[in-house]
Structure 1
Amino acid sequence: MKTIRGKLFIAFLGLVLIIFLILWLSMEFFIEPYYYRQKVTTMQKTIQQIETIIQVSPSPIDRIQDFEYLGYNFEGKISIYDAEAGIVISDEDVLKYSKGKIIKNIEVNGVKAYVLETNYPVKETRWLVYSERLSSDGVVMLQIPITAMDQTIEAISAFMNYVGIIILIIAMLMAGVISTNMTRPIKRLTLMANELRQLKFDVQYEEDRKDEIGELGATFNALATRLDATIKALQYELSKEKALDVLRKEFVAQVSHELQTPLSIIHGYIEALEDGVVESEEERKDYYKIIYEESDKMSHMIKDLLQLSELEAGTFSITKEDMDLKEFFDHIQEAYQTLLIQSDKSLHYKSLKTSVMFKGDRIKLEQAIRNILNNAIKYADKGSEIGFETSLVDRCVTVTISNAGPFIEDEDIPKIFGSFYKGKNSEGKEGTGIGLAVAGKVFDHHRISYFVRNTSDGVKFIIRFPLDEI
């Protein structure tokens, strides 16, 4: 049989049969010799006692009494003969139970005995006979009836034949039950493995077992759970990759549009200057100023693209140096205070009270902070105030940049620092959606934590500089 159930059935049945065969062989070939050996040993000890009685009891009458008592305990017959084969001491019926035929010779531990079959006291009575020479030149002969023992052994042998048939039937039934119980969970595990092969990872092995099969089932469950999680993660990554691909395409279209607009303006103004349409010097200066501003926009856009490309490719380098965060943030706010003078918006700045040293890339960190400030200013309501606050709490400098303006959709918040991402509320605003992505990656390189949340009237960015990173 090729199945595990069949092999277990045969193995269990074979084991039971082997055990029974050993028992049967023991009964058939070893019990009788063992019995004879025990009896001969008893006879030898009895003869030693006879020798002792002869030596310590000189009176024949005392000897006879001792021999009768010994024979009673011995459960056999004692006969003693002198050197001329004359009877010294014997049972009165010794001639009756001593006549018969020898049916078996026995040798135990180098001494010989034999089985004698007589017709006394009943027909086919069997005696185990053993004789030994005494130190007084006489011979002692001992006889023990063994007919009952032989009959018992024969009855047991016959009984074992019937028991063997019963044991065989019971063993077959038990082998079937045990093999079925042992292979049932294996079949379930096989079905479970087939389900896993078909990428169905929601299957579970539900039997509560404490043995090796239970451990295997638990391993299968862990494997199924792990594979299910892995497949879902891969599916998520694939969907994210597809979404990112869509964002890239939208980004390319957006960048193309963003570049096309200043290029068209620059091209139009240059043509106007070449054709002499602009006559006054003041108008020419205005045209040159517009051309410069549009080219500057293009320069910043291309710079952001190159930097984002370096960040994503892993070729972005950080040059860390000691920097005073108070002086660093004060410098940034001064630049924006000047920038917002001609704007309808204002900047509320809260400075650190003392100098705080941090190790970082000053240029790239300034660009990251500026990107977030630019984003806050871009989306702030007209005439509103942009918050720029810094504080030192528990070995951490926290920067909070806030504005009053449109909220960020909840579904957009986890994605706002992603590459090429522009939220739903960014429609109609200039930009490519890569400023925050660059800022996030710069912060990541410095192990600076950052997040964004909606407030009651706008949006708040929170950036935390850990001073333990110095």
Structure 2
Amino acid sequence: MRQTTKARHTLGIRGQLMWFLCFICLFLLGLFWLLSTQLLEPLYTKHIETQLTNQADSIVERLDDAIAEGKVLSSWSFGQLAVNSDFFDKLTLELYTKGTLNSFCVDISDTTLHTIYKIENQSFCNLHGTYLSDSANNDKIIATALAMRRKCRSMGSFVQTLNPPRLSGSAQLLVGRTTADGSYTVLVTTSLVHVAEAGKVLSTLLPLAAALIFGFAMSAAWLFSEWFTKPLRQLSSAARQMALGNYAVQVDNRRNDELGDLARDFNHMAEEVQHAVQMQRDLLANVSHDLRTPLTLIKGYAETVRDLTGDDKAHRDEQMNIIVDEADRLTALVSSVMELSKVTSGTYKCERVHFDMGQLCDEVSERYDAVCAQNGWQLQLELPEEDLPVYADPDMMQRALHNLLGNAMHHIGKDGIFILRAFRCTEGVRVEVEDHGPGIAAADLPYIFDRYYRSRSDAGKQGTGLGLSITKAIFQQHSFRFGVQSTVGKGTTFWFVMSDLPYVDDFEGK
């Protein structure tokens, strides 16, 4: 099954990335080829058409203005043509200096369809054919010019492509316009040879350029995929090492991107898993040790009662009391372990309700009157006169208070006073349990809520060592903030903050 899964994913992220970049490169090359070979000519022709149209419209506008001013632009007398030289000279100057086209021809004709004025600013014109020497092509040119003039006079305006009269020529674009009174027709042409030549050049160079670009892109993609997937391969290798039990593994997290964040999160996870595994081992070792001691005592005293002190009632009762006490220790330890397991696994579900935390603190404090009177201790209850509404599981909160108060009694100071207080704060209600005992060293504070953790000052004291771990699990289920403050030689204060809202955001609770 493992080999099948591995074979199924042989391509990997690097291969998928290479295929993706290859597809993008081919797509861009195909798009460039489409634009340069298929769309270049129509786009260029459209651009030339716009320039020709503007040129023709400007000429017609000048003619219309001159006619409106009463100027005589041309006349025929005894078959001889006379034109207004001043007007057309100025028009020529404007076309050369202010025109948008560098290569063009202009043909202006009157109602007789004869040319009264023309400009030839290109090597060859399909409309005029000045440089043709054979009569056959000249006849074609003359017929073309007459046909375009007639078409312009009948249609008023049009755009047409003029094919060359010979194989060596090039196509030209023609725009025709007519003056407002119909007296003159204006034809403007320009060559399309540039776009044809550009298309041929691009068609020649494109395969070579595409091969070079594709080769460079694939090389860059290979290097990029190597750089991009390296941290992923490191994470995969580290995950396999963790699966084999090496929880001290770490990966490089120097990148300042999402992969760097993933590496840092992995390292943090590895540290937490290593810490959890170590705590689990310590828990098993400590519980095993604590189980072994009372079991040994129970067995030893039971054998003594059986073999030696069966008839001595005083000794028998003393030894039976020891057996009962050790059995109670075993019961408490097993109960704490089971309770911790149920709370941390989520078997115990929070049944949240609205209640008064001040009333719950008052009820819990009454349970300690007898033990305080017996030992000469004093539990001070500090509550405000107002209600302290909260939204939580009252049974779990009661258990947490008992754990914290029991912990305070185990570390009670020489004054014999420990304090339970609750008061309002900005987040809801803050509850504190304070003792005046020896305090907790700063090095022990970060681990005080860990399972079975005991600070050096707790060595040899009674208790299962799981009460604070159970309390921590209860607070985490409620998403309450909690913590501890301590000063060596002055005492310790455990605190937690409760909310009166039905819904709160999950909080890590450290």
TM-score category of the 2 structures, normalised to the smaller one: 0.5 to 0.7
Label 1:328 to 1:286 Cα distance change in 2 as closer, same or farther (>3 A): farther
Label 1:65 to 1:438 Cα distance change in 2 as closer, same or farther (>3 A): same
Spell out, residue by residue over 1:145-197, the C-alpha distance to the aligned partner (whole angstroms, 9 max, x if none). Answer: xxxx99xx97999x999998899779989999999899978865653322122
In the other structure, the counterpart of 2:293 is 261
Separation of aligned partners in 2, 1:391 and 1:23: 79
1:461 Cα deviation (Å)?
0.7
**Match status 1:292 vs 2:304:** no
In the other structure, the counterpart of 1:121 is none
**Match status 1:350 vs 2:382:** yes
1:400 Cα deviation (Å)?
0.9
Aligned pairs (5 A) from 1:385-404? 385-393=417-425, 396-404=428-436
Amino acid across the alignment from 2:77: Q
1:367 Cα deviation (Å)?
1.9
Label 1:462 to 1:165 Cα distance change in 2 as closer, same or farther (>3 A): same
CA contact (8 A) 2:391 2:501 kept: no
1:64 Cα deviation (Å)?
7.6
The residue matched to 2:348 in structure 1 has which SS? Answer: coil
**Match status 1:242 vs 2:242:** no
In the other structure, the counterpart of 1:229 is 261
2:495 equivalent among 459, 462, 466: 462
In the other structure, the counterpart of 1:217 is none
Separation of aligned partners in 1, 2:459 and 2:350: 33
**Match status 1:333 vs 2:365:** yes
Label 1:243 to 1:342 Cα distance change in 2 as closer, same or farther (>3 A): same
**Match status 1:103 vs 2:115:** no
Separation of aligned partners in 1, 2:147 and 2:494: 114
Amino acid across the alignment from 1:68: Q
Spell out, residue by residue over 1:364-402, the C-alpha distance to the aligned partner (whole angstroms, 9 max, x if none). Answer: 322221111222332445555322222244583322112
Separation of aligned partners in 1, 2:213 and 2:367: 82
Spell out, residue by residue over 1:215-248, the C-alpha distance to the aligned partner (whole angstroms, 9 max, x if none). Answer: xxxxxxxx98323322432333233223222221
In the other structure, the counterpart of 2:468 is 436
Percent identical across equivalent pairs?
A: 19
CA contact (8 A) 2:440 2:455 kept: yes
CA contact (8 A) 2:170 2:193 kept: no
In the other structure, the counterpart of 2:239 is none
Separation of aligned partners in 1, 2:41 and 2:423: 91
Instruction: Name the stretch that deviates more: 280-289 or 240-249.
Output: 280-289
The residue matched to 1:468 in structure 2 has which SS? Answer: coil
Separation of aligned partners in 2, 1:317 and 1:5: 56
In terms of Rg, which structure is larger?
A: 1
User: How many correspondences in the alignment?
Assistant: 360
1:308 equivalent among 325, 340, 345: 340
Separation of aligned partners in 2, 1:156 and 1:467: 86
Amino acid across the alignment from 1:338: A
1:198 Cα deviation (Å)?
2.1
1:462 Cα deviation (Å)?
0.8
Spell out, residue by residue over 1:8-31, the C-alpha distance to the aligned partner (whole angstroms, 9 max, x if none). Answer: 789868966778989999xxxxxx
The residue matched to 1:391 in structure 2 has which SS? Answer: strand
Label 1:271 to 1:350 Cα distance change in 2 as closer, same or farther (>3 A): farther
1:320 Cα deviation (Å)?
5.0
CA contact (8 A) 2:41 2:199 kept: no
Separation of aligned partners in 2, 1:268 and 1:385: 39
Separation of aligned partners in 1, 2:353 and 2:35: 80
CA contact (8 A) 1:396 1:464 kept: yes
Alignment TM-score, normalising by the size of structure 1: 0.57
In the other structure, the counterpart of 1:452 is 484
**Match status 1:374 vs 2:406:** yes
CA contact (8 A) 2:431 2:495 kept: yes
CA contact (8 A) 1:248 1:420 kept: no
1:251 Cα deviation (Å)?
1.0
In the other structure, the counterpart of 1:196 is 228
CA contact (8 A) 2:422 2:430 kept: yes
> For structure 1, which runs of at least 5 residues remain unmatched after alignment?
26-37, 39-62, 79-99, 116-126, 133-148, 203-222
The residue matched to 1:103 in structure 2 has which SS? Answer: helix
Aligned pairs (5 A) from 1:103-252? 103-104=136-137, 188=220, 190-199=222-231, 225-252=257-284
The residue matched to 1:199 in structure 2 has which SS? Answer: helix
Aligned pairs (5 A) from 1:69-88? 69=81
In the other structure, the counterpart of 2:252 is none
Separation of aligned partners in 2, 1:191 and 1:238: 30
Amino acid across the alignment from 2:497: R
> For structure 2, which runs of at least 5 residues remain unmatched after alignment?
1-21, 46-55, 57-74, 86-107, 113-132, 151-163, 173-190, 235-254, 504-510
The residue matched to 2:461 in structure 1 has which SS? Answer: coil
Label 1:453 to 1:180 Cα distance change in 2 as closer, same or farther (>3 A): farther
1:407 Cα deviation (Å)?
4.5
Separation of aligned partners in 1, 2:147 and 2:352: 111
Label 1:329 to 1:173 Cα distance change in 2 as closer, same or farther (>3 A): same
CA contact (8 A) 1:9 1:179 kept: no
1:68 equivalent among 76, 80, 84: 80
Alignment TM-score, normalising by the size of structure 2: 0.53
1:312 Cα deviation (Å)?
2.7
1:271 Cα deviation (Å)?
3.8
Spell out, residue by residue over 1:279-305, the C-alpha distance to the aligned partner (whole angstroms, 9 max, x if none). Answer: 876665544444333322221211111
Label 1:379 to 1:448 Cα distance change in 2 as closer, same or farther (>3 A): same
Separation of aligned partners in 2, 1:75 and 1:416: 105
Spell out, residue by residue over 1:20-74, the C-alpha distance to the aligned partner (whole angstroms, 9 max, x if none). Answer: 989999xxxxxxxxxxxx9xxxxxxxxxxxxxxxxxxxxxxxx983642469998
1:410 Cα deviation (Å)?
4.7
Amino acid across the alignment from 1:460: T
